[in-house]
Amino acid sequence: MSVTAARGFEAAGVAAGLKSTGKPDVAVVVNRGPRKAGAAVFTSNRAKANPILWSQTAIGDGVVEAVVLNSGGANCFTGSFGFQTTHQTAEKTAELLGVSAGDVLVCSTGLIGAGDEVFRAKVLAGTEQAIAELSPDGGAAAAEAIMTTDTRPKQAVAAGEGWTVGGMAKGAGMLAPGLATMLVVLTTDADLDAAALDAALRRATRTTFDRLDSDGCMSTNDQVTLLASGASGIQPDPDDFADRLTLVCADLSAQLQQDAEGASHDITIDVVGAVDEDDAVEVGRAVARNNLFKAAIFGNDPNWGRVLAAIGTTSAAFDPYDVDVSFNGVRVCTAGGPDRPREEVDLTPRATGILIDLKRGEHSARILTNDLTHDYVHENSAYSS
């Protein structure tokens, strides 16, 4: 159940000393082929880390031989030195694997603004060590090596008829669309070209990672990469492949939500009755980013007034006095007024469901978020200390 579940892939995760804890912090995933196709989507933040700038160029020809990932340092806003570090990482990987540096993607995660000669030396040494330890059984170690404030590794697998999709992810904070603060590597042994991978990946991320909005903060280092080895020799139906890929992405998204920094509630916001999908997403996103709503959930308070107030900031089509809101299956608001007593709502379970019916159409959308807690504030107030 890992990024090496699909045939044709090897991985490793090693401790290079980037983390003061001594835990693994450099991972490598290699595509052994016979096909070396790849696709990727990146953060939409205009402030992009050096690995993103490199990988956006490298993915251009649709060929990816390997992905190198480090935790313990974002290599972002580290100037030309930082970009050279990324370049040298790709070159070192290429040299050791006998491939082109332009076919190596690089990912980093950790503290922004940190990076020096020691950081570079450790990344390069870790890359060399990881390549020496590559194995078809190395997926679990790789998933552990990309963790930062994560409390556990995230992995998922879905099987098609004779082919497989596997993946790993990291992320626990700065989870907002475009893509969430995460690094994700997805692999498949299906025989698909880069164009097919790109179409399936964009379809899958649109309704999964892009709708994970834990804290409304967008990272500089987000990257989701999909690799195809073609080792199964099977060319699946495009829709079937996209469906399996979406299952893996949805599974990883839920794992990211459930490990969000300091969270005590995992909140699923379902918006129904919208004129179109865009309206449903906009409404769900507005509620997910409303700190008053998130604080109320932390306090186990089914304050539906905060939901309506958040909806009212959107441009979606709805009548504020014709909206229903339910908390964990109890409709506390109907037609813009009180319905069932708040005392009937049990918000003590971690899993929390909010249902919003706009009563204007047939479209819907789901947004994943978390509550706002003391622990979240504490953890992020001391992140760089």
| Residues in contact with 224: Cβ distance below 8 Å, sequence separation at least 6, in sequence order | 40, 41, 42, 179, 182, 183, 184, 186, 201, 205, 209, 249
Element (H, E) at 80: helix 79-97
- CA–CA separation, 5 and 18 (whole Å): 27
Question: Choosing from 85, 93, 181, 373, which is the catalytic residue?
Answer: 181
What domains, with CATH codes, occur in the chain? 9-258 (3.60.70.12), 266-381 (3.10.20.340)
CA dist., res. 380 & res. 372, Å (int): 12
Q: What is the pLDDT of residue 48?
A: 92
Alpha carbon distance 91, 94 (integer Å) = 5
pLDDT at 321 over 60: yes
69-111 residue pLDDT tens: 999 999 999 989 999 999 999 999 999 999 999 999 999 998 8
**pTM of the full predicted structure?**
0.93
Mean pLDDT over 286-295 rounds to 96
**How far is it between the farthest Cα atoms of the chain?**
67
> Is the Cβ–Cβ distance between 295 and 368 less than 8 Å?
no
Q: In Å, what is the CA distance from 246 to each residue of 43, 253, 318?
A: 19, 10, 30
Per-residue pLDDT tens digits for 329-371: 999 999 989 999 999 999 999 999 999 999 999 999 999 999 9
> What tens digit of pLDDT does each residue of 196-206 get?
999 999 999 99
181 a catalytic residue: yes
- What is the C-alpha end-to-end distance of the chain, expressed in Å? 35
* Radius of gyration of the chain measured on its C-alpha atoms: 21
Helix crossing, 50-58 with 79-97: angle to 10°? 50
Q: Which helix (H) or strand (E) holds 239?
A: helix 238-258
Give me the pLDDT at residue 20, please.
87
